[in-house]
């Protein structure tokens, strides 16, 4: 199936980036959010990144104009009624996501593929609330979306080969690399990444070293572009905690228990960069 029209749901840090890369690659994109304010914020972020690309000579003014012309915003989910593909990037909450998928199942054309950008929620369970489970799949972009090459493509137990093939080809058109994984807690990316971040939080909790020192060790010693605590702040500490809880519950193994300090920060509203404070303070 050829994908031409796409809806991205949720204009937060991931949704805006996903909408940008689709529009840049020539797809017709509708960016949806419940709040008009979030749409305007998302659009402003996209415009800023496109202008930066022009300044850096990575695209010219005509490419920027074409990208913006490929993009429209809407608060109405009903506008997904002519889309070939929908990518959901709303908050990491199963109730919210299943409600969105049930509505999309009613609204979108029969051939449409429904994808989720979830970091950790089971695609199999999301697929099961629709009447087209074989056309439901995980399309997990990495943050920041315009920069990172990976799309982790997660097959639910019900996902058809045809759906997987379409999504892998679409990822290629975005100039990304698709990696196929099966639907188990945390998939592959967060199964490996999050325990490392959680362990770094334990090291702070136990007084092994200050956050700056732990990040410096991983940057200079292991060539990571960001230390694990800076990365946790960048992802969002609420998202990190949520993923650890999914791993802990999903495997029933105490090795995935979230660090109490991570939970305390989230309860305090210290969610990282997006709230102005996490392991570091942001202005
Ligand atoms: C939680 C999940 O489910 C899955 C996940 O996403 S896990 C998180 C995965 N992501 C990572 O691990 C990111 C690790 N960090 C990095 O790779 C890098 O630090 C980084 C690419 C984010 C920034 O790179 P840097 O060299 O430290 O900083 P900086 O020089 O400011 O940025 C490099 C380029 O990226 C671009 N960039 C940075 N942040 C950006 C953003 N949010 N959106 C778009 N472009 C961005 C910058 O424009 C810059 O390019 P130019 O200077 O040429 O314009
Ligand atoms: N942060 C990261 O590094 C990564 C996150 N992800 C995943 O991507 C998804 C989004 O995360 P992120 O972008 O960080 O979150 P954000 O909180 O930045 O964005 C979520 C957006 O979705 C909107 N929203 C909430 N409910 C609905 C709804 N029913 N319909 C339409 N829009 C809605 C929110 O609006 P409002 O603010 O008005 O409530 C907000 O604008 C999550 O599933 C997350 O796990 C995946 C990879 C990396």
Strand order in the sheet with 28-32: 71-74, 28-32, 5-9, 85-88, 113-116, 136-141, 150-155, 177-182
Nearest CA to ligand 1 atom 47: 147
Closest among 259, 257, 188 to 229, alpha carbons compared: 259
**pLDDT for position 283:** 84
Tokens of 115: 């994808």
pTM above 0.90, yes or no: yes
**pLDDT for position 1:** 82
Per DSSP, which regions of 3-99 are E strands?
A: 5-9, 28-32, 71-74, 85-88
**pLDDT for position 157:** 98
Domains of the chain: 5-182 (3.40.50.720), 189-275 (1.10.1040.10)
Q: Among residues of the chain, what percentage have pLDDT more than 70?
A: 100
Distance CA 107, CA 114 (A): 11
Instruction: Assess whether 254 carries a catalytic annotation.
Output: no
For 36-71, how does the pLDDT look when each residue is reduced to its tens digit (9 = 90+)? 999 999 999 999 999 999 999 999 999 999 999 999
Distance CA 163, CA 155 (A): 9
Closest among 1, 27, 7 to 107, alpha carbons compared: 7
Question: Which of the ligands is closest to the CA of residue 235?
Answer: 2
Q: How many CB atoms lie within 10 A of CB 102?
A: 14
CA of 144 to the centre of ligand 1 (A): 5
The verdict on the CB of residue 56 being under 6 Å from ligand 1 is yes
**pLDDT for position 100:** 98
Q: What is the ipTM of this complex?
A: 0.96
- Selecting among 32, 116, 119, 120, the annotated active-site residue is 119
For Cα atoms 240, 252, 201, give the angle at the middle one, nearest 5 degrees: 30
Q: Which residues of the chain have pLDDT under 50?
A: none
Q: Quickly tell me which residue has 């689709």 as its tokens.
A: 22
- Selecting among 190, 199, 216, 248, the annotated active-site residue is 190
Q: Which residue ranges make up the annotated binding site?
A: 10-15, 33, 92, 97, 119, 143, 274
């Amino acid at each position: 199936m050829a994908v031409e029209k796409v809806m991205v749901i949720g204009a937060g840090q991931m949704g805006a980036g996903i909408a940008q890369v689709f529009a840049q690659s020539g797809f017709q994109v509708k960016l949806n959010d419940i709040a008009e304010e979030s749409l305007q914020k998302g659009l402003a972020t996209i415009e800023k990144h496109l202008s930066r690309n022009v300044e850096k000579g990575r695209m010219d003014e005509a490419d920027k104009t074409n990208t913006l012309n490929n993009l429209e915003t809407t608060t109405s989910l009903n506008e997904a009624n002519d889309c070939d593909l929908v990518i959901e990037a709303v908050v990491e909450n199963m109730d919210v996501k299943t409600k969105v998928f049930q509505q999309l199942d009613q609204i979108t054309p029969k051939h449409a593929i429904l994808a989720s950008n979830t970091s950790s929620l089971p695609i199999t369970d999301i697929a099961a609330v629709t009447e087209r489970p074989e056309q439901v799949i995980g399309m997990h972009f990495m943050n920041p979306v315009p920069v990172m090459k990976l799309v982790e493509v997660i097959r639910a137990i019900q996902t058809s080969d045809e759906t997987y093939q379409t999504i892998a080809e679409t990822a290629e058109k975005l100039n990304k690399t698709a990696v196929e994984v099966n639907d188990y807690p945390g998939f592959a990316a967060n199964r490996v990444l999050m325990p490392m971040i959680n362990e770094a939080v334990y090291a702070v909790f136990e007084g092994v070293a200050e956050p700056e020192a732990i990040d410096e060790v991983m940057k200079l010693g292991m060539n990571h572009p960001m230390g694990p605590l800076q990365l946790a702040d960048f992802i969002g500490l609420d998202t990190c905690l949520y993923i650890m809880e999914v791993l802990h519950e999903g495997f029933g193994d105490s090795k995935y228990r979230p660090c109490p300090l991570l939970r305390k920060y989230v309860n305090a509203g210290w969610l990282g960069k997006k709230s102005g404070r996490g392991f570091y303070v942001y202005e």
